[in-house]
Structure 1
Amino acid sequence: MTVSPMYYHYDELGEPCGGVHLDVCGTGVDIQYFHHHRDGVDLVFVNHPCFIENAENIYGGSVMDVAWRGALLSQAAIEAIWHVPCGGFPYGTESLVYVANDWHTALLPVYLQAFYKEHFHLGFARSVLVVHNISHQGRSHWDDVWRLGLPDHHTGAFHLDDPMEGQGMNILKAGIEYATKVIAVSPGYAWEISTDEGGWGLAPTIRNDPMKISGIVNGIDFDTWSPEHDTHLQSDGYQTYGTNLEGLWTGKQACKAALQRQLGLPERHEVPVLGFIGRLDEQKGLDLILDSEEYLMSRDIQIVFLGSGRQDLQDRLYDMECRNRDKVRAWIGYSDQMAHRITASCDILLMPSRYEPCGLNQLYAMHYGTVPVVHAVGGLRDTVLHYDGENEGTGWTFERAEVDKFQWALGQALYSFWDHRDSFMGVALRGMHRDLGWDHAAYLYECKLLEAKYAH
């Protein structure tokens, strides 16, 4: 069963299947449940005006506004087992493992203990908290803890004395402490959040119980991301292609030419095309690319950017394009179609992120035969094996987010492209043939959920 806010009334849902009255942070609330069964999964939606009102900005409002909506969703998810008749009958209370995601629902493990287990309900239920980005924590003034409606003896877990920001309330910290298991979105990120540099103030909490922390890399949806049947590659001169050497030499080259035509770049099959897809901010390391303009433009390359973000970085990208019209194109904004086309058409994808909990673009790139050049952090370290000329590498990596280190790794990739094309194609093929789907990730999640189920 999945439980989600109902931001819109979806046609498939029909009429509500149940409802319940909740006490959310001291406020009485009536909610409705809608249920739909699809592909073997019970999809449950929680209907309340607060979700409809924020449909266009789901994280809108103050921290406590978002926390209130998260508290409502968390309690509704706990109660769903009694009020939603999946298959004609409610789930019941046996063998339950609740999975919460990030700080927005990190209250669920706390509420499970405070409102249910301590009152002799759901005694065998367990909770798992998945951390996608530990920098977002639900921090607020300490006095706001009393607005959560919890008994006094549960408030201590929310306390964080941060050397930079002082004492305050931290919802993610409490969720980590109360959860049976905590899963980060890659093994590398699970380690990083335990360090003072990567834990954003919560490293001591993570290190306090290291056995509950693990990491699992996300998978990609092959129904949406596959060069063999990508709907975005079926027009405008683009074409789908197989995950084999023939696909790289034919279909991918056709996509490369189509991208050059669409963006008004010189149509040259022999020039390496580099791509960047992501938010234009410091985290994504875009400044490392911009600060390498002289290095890049002194080489026979083309580079395409897709993203939006900080205005100063957008301005720098625009200026870089104006200075180098025959080599640079910047698409400010986001286009799902263009993301697919850039991924399929480029020879090299740049991901110089300063931190990257998991990352998906490098997975998409490898599956499309586009070689990633990445900063070896988080999920990038776990998924891209640096090619040293002899091993089974799937890309090139660099160890520190510094311009010279980025240029060194990119230089290795370009050297291979120009002077050792067979080796470069081997790197691309190994990436295409990796198991990047959800089957393996789902198996690892199942193992962790079973560990949580039988934990004391």
Structure 2
Amino acid sequence: IGPSFLFLYNLQVPWHVPCGGVPYGDGNLVFIANDWHTALLPVYLKAYYRDHGLMQYTRSIMVIHNIAHQGRGPVDEFPFTELPEHYLEHFRLYDPVGGEHANYFAAGLKMADQVVVVSPGYLWELKTVEGGWGLHDIIRQNDWKTRGIVNGIDNMEWNPEVDAHLKSDGYTNFSLRTLDSGKRQCKEALQRELGLQVRADVPLLGFIGRLDGQKGVEIIADAMPWIVSQDVQLVMLGTGRHDLESMLRHFEREHHDKVRGWVGFSVRLAHRITAGADALLMPSRFEPCGLNQLYAMAYGTVPVVHAVGGLRDTVPPFDPFNHSGLGWTFDRAEAHKLIEALGHCLRTYRDFKESWRALQERGMSQDFSWEHAAKLYEDVLVKAKYQW
């Protein structure tokens, strides 16, 4: 089955499938295409329908979650798309590394009526040579129809008051009102479950993420000699590259009294680390939006992040003089910068309890819900509707 069949079938669904009781037809209809996997949809909408006077009131919105993955292929395979020959120019792209190629993402960005990027900070980065992954010029040219909107989180799944993963094994649900006792109980339960020494006074650090170059786990590795020299505990959860999985296992063997490296994917443990840790490390080299820092703050866990993309948007740095900020940030993806930020974090945890409690309260008081993000998306939908 070629891509034309799949996308043309999807475009015709609203005429036949009774969504909400009756078929939508093509009036007041919008298709939302996420990343390169569906980037051809705006292209087929234009080439097969709107260029022929059909679906004139139908719009498409392209959402960029991660522009590093683009759907590249040889130019000579373009005929398989079954698009008009002149559409090749929308796909054709040249970059110094990959050379000339056909780029699905590039074509989708050009054809979409509106473009949403999953954070304002990531949108800014996409316009740069370093952050645009070869598509920076296209992003700049289409800046007039592009907006950055931070993702929301599911407040029923990621909510310490009702979290189903905290209802057993010694964990407990908690709220801002019961933060002190609830957080302490979850921390003790996590320490017991992972075989760490149960100590309320030791800072418990967490890392949850895919083990690849983007997430910056190597930066934690470079900082590991300093981390294990401190009176801390570190729990790392993730799966991905085999060498990085082996690295996690190595750290646990070498520093068994302080470090746990859980290799694999566990929703339950991710929730429990988020609830039980005092601070969450996110040293991502780039991060379009990031969700773990949002989950962490909802659970009173303070994020320490590399100030890129959505991390920069959602974690304003702690300012003890103005009693503001939600965590610690560092400005370069280097171990000594992480160490500097983490050092300030640990000192505040140990020596400035009131400031630490205020950080937790501010984080738990933020509105990271989809309700807020949905209102911003609605603005984009309305703008697309009246765009000609």
Q: Same fold (TM over 0.5)?
A: yes
- Deviation of the 1:72 alpha carbon: 4.1
Aligned to 1:422: 354
Partner of residue 433 from structure 1, selected from 347, 365, 368 = 365
Aligned to 2:380: 448
Aligned to 2:283: 352
Partner of residue 78 from structure 1, selected from 11, 14, 33 = 11
Partner of residue 135 from structure 1, selected from 61, 65, 68 = 68
- Paired with 2:230 and 2:200, the residues of 1 have a C-alpha distance of 15
Task: Note the aligned Cα RMSD (angstroms).
Answer: 1.1
Alignment of 1:6-21 (within 5 A): none
Question: Could you tell me whether the CA contact under 8 Å between 1:227 and 1:243 is conserved in 2?
Answer: no
Question: Could you tell me whether the CA contact under 8 Å between 1:185 and 1:218 is conserved in 2?
Answer: yes
Aligned to 1:397: 329
Unaligned runs of 5+ in 1: 1-23, 26-67
Question: Could you tell me whether the CA contact under 8 Å between 2:190 and 2:272 is conserved in 1?
Answer: yes
- Paired with 1:282 and 1:86, the residues of 2 have a C-alpha distance of 41
Over residues 323-353 of structure 1, what are the superposed CA-to-partner deviations in whole Å (9 max), with x where a residue is unaligned?
2111001111011000000000000000000
- Percent identity of the aligned residues? 53
- Paired with 1:316 and 1:159, the residues of 2 have a C-alpha distance of 40
Matched, 1:319 2:250: yes
Aligned to 1:159: 92
- Paired with 2:152 and 2:102, the residues of 1 have a C-alpha distance of 33
Aligned to 1:292: 223
SS at match of 2:19: coil
- Deviation of the 1:312 alpha carbon: 1.7
- Paired with 2:350 and 2:67, the residues of 1 have a C-alpha distance of 40
SS at match of 2:179: helix
- Deviation of the 1:88 alpha carbon: 4.4
- Paired with 2:21 and 2:65, the residues of 1 have a C-alpha distance of 34
Question: Could you tell me whether the CA contact under 8 Å between 1:320 and 1:328 is conserved in 2?
Answer: yes
Aligned to 2:159: 226
Partner of residue 366 from structure 1, selected from 291, 297, 313 = 297
SS at match of 1:250: helix
- Paired with 1:432 and 1:181, the residues of 2 have a C-alpha distance of 33
Over residues 16-51 of structure 1, what are the superposed CA-to-partner deviations in whole Å (9 max), with x where a residue is unaligned?
xxxxxxxx64xxxxxxxxxxxxxxxxxxxxxxxxxx
Report how many residues are paired: 387
- Paired with 1:86 and 1:276, the residues of 2 have a C-alpha distance of 41
- Deviation of the 1:451 alpha carbon: 0.7
- Paired with 2:21 and 2:341, the residues of 1 have a C-alpha distance of 57
- Deviation of the 1:73 alpha carbon: 4.0
So what's the TM-score if we normalise by structure 1? 0.83
- Deviation of the 1:428 alpha carbon: 1.1
Where relative contact order (Cα < 8 A, 6+ residues apart) is larger, the structure is 2
Aligned to 1:380: 311
Aligned to 1:49: none
Summarize the Cα distance change of 1:73–1:415 in structure 2 as closer, same or farther, 3 Å threshold.
Answer: farther
Partner of residue 174 from structure 2, selected from 241, 256, 259 = 241
Which residue type is aligned with residue 206 of structure 2? Answer: G
Aligned to 1:169: 102
Over residues 413-447 of structure 1, what are the superposed CA-to-partner deviations in whole Å (9 max), with x where a residue is unaligned?
10100110110111111000000110010000000
- Paired with 2:100 and 2:20, the residues of 1 have a C-alpha distance of 48
- Paired with 2:142 and 2:214, the residues of 1 have a C-alpha distance of 28
Summarize the Cα distance change of 1:150–1:302 in structure 2 as closer, same or farther, 3 Å threshold.
Answer: same
Over residues 222-279 of structure 1, what are the superposed CA-to-partner deviations in whole Å (9 max), with x where a residue is unaligned?
11110001110001100000123xx221011000000101111000000000000001
Question: Could you tell me whether the CA contact under 8 Å between 1:243 and 1:367 is conserved in 2?
Answer: no
SS at match of 1:366: helix
Partner of residue 340 from structure 2, selected from 373, 388, 408 = 408
Over residues 91-137 of structure 1, what are the superposed CA-to-partner deviations in whole Å (9 max), with x where a residue is unaligned?
12212222111111111111111000111111122211001100111
Larger helix share, 1 or 2: 2
Aligned to 1:192: 125
Over residues 346-386 of structure 1, what are the superposed CA-to-partner deviations in whole Å (9 max), with x where a residue is unaligned?
00000000001011000000000000000001110110010
- Deviation of the 1:87 alpha carbon: 4.5
- Paired with 2:246 and 2:120, the residues of 1 have a C-alpha distance of 36
Question: Could you tell me whether the CA contact under 8 Å between 1:185 and 1:216 is conserved in 2?
Answer: yes
Unaligned runs of 5+ in 2: none
